Amino acid sequence: MNELTILLLSAASLGFVHTLLGPDHYLPFIVLSKARKWTQAKTLWITFVSGIGHVAGSVIIGIIGIAMGISLHRLEAFEAQRGNIVGWLIAFFGLMYTFYGFYKYLKNSTHSHIHSFLLPSKLKKLKHLPNEDDTTDRDSWKSLTPWVLFLIFVFGPCEVLIPLLIFPAAEFSSFGIVLVSIVFGLATVLTMLIMVFLGYRGFKLIKFKPLEKYMHLIAGLVILIAGVGMVFLGW
């Protein structure tokens, strides 16, 4: 078994392990798919595109760094800093989505518990207007949420990829870099897709009807916990 084969096996193994052990790679897609009522196809497509962007970001940085002769230590430090920033971004996104979920819960609870005879006459006329606002609000969040996830993942680093690229750059030139990038990328994206698919199908087996009014809030809290775990626990 030659060195390049060993390197490719290492790339596949690390791509699988680093994704599996990083819940931030799949939990946001799973909980948001439930909260936003995405179809399975849409959920997997958003996961796929975000995964490609996630790997491509580190590949581009690694290739630029190698071409400029930047040391491995400096590249790893830069990737670690990016990882810290992304952890905060995910935590912030989770916090904002938690606020949104809490707002939606209060809004829905208010609509369902305030009887019309308790409302002033002017508010009675406006009672059905929130439904239209809800539609606009829902549509804007549906269009915005996938883009937020995609941008966060593009900015997010694959810390283990940079060292893998340094060796083939020295030994096998561009051919080794391309092969390692492809194998690592495939392992990472496929693992993301498998985990999201399993999570999506698992949610289908659970009766969430009593919890549906809390789903946005739950999704926000899960994403917030994943971000906090990245920053403080090194997930």
Distance of CA 141 to the CA centre of its chain: 15
Residue type, 173: S
The crossing angle, in degrees rounded to 10, of helices 3-20 and 173-205 is 30
Closest CA to 104 of 194, 215, 222: 215
| Full pLDDT tens readout for the chain, 235 residues | 678 888 899 999 999 999 999 888 999 999 999 889 899 999 999 999 999 999 998 889 888 888 888 888 888 888 888 888 999 999 999 999 999 898 888 877 654 444 444 444 544 444 444 444 444 445 555 567 888 889 889 888 887 888 877 767 667 677 888 888 999 999 999 999 999 999 999 988 877 666 677 889 989 999 999 889 888 876 6
Q: Whole-model pTM? A: 0.81
DSSP symbol at 118:
G
Rounded to an integer, what distance in angstroms lies between the CA atom of residue 98 and that of residue 104? Answer: 10
Residues 6+ apart with CB under 8 A from 167: 7, 176
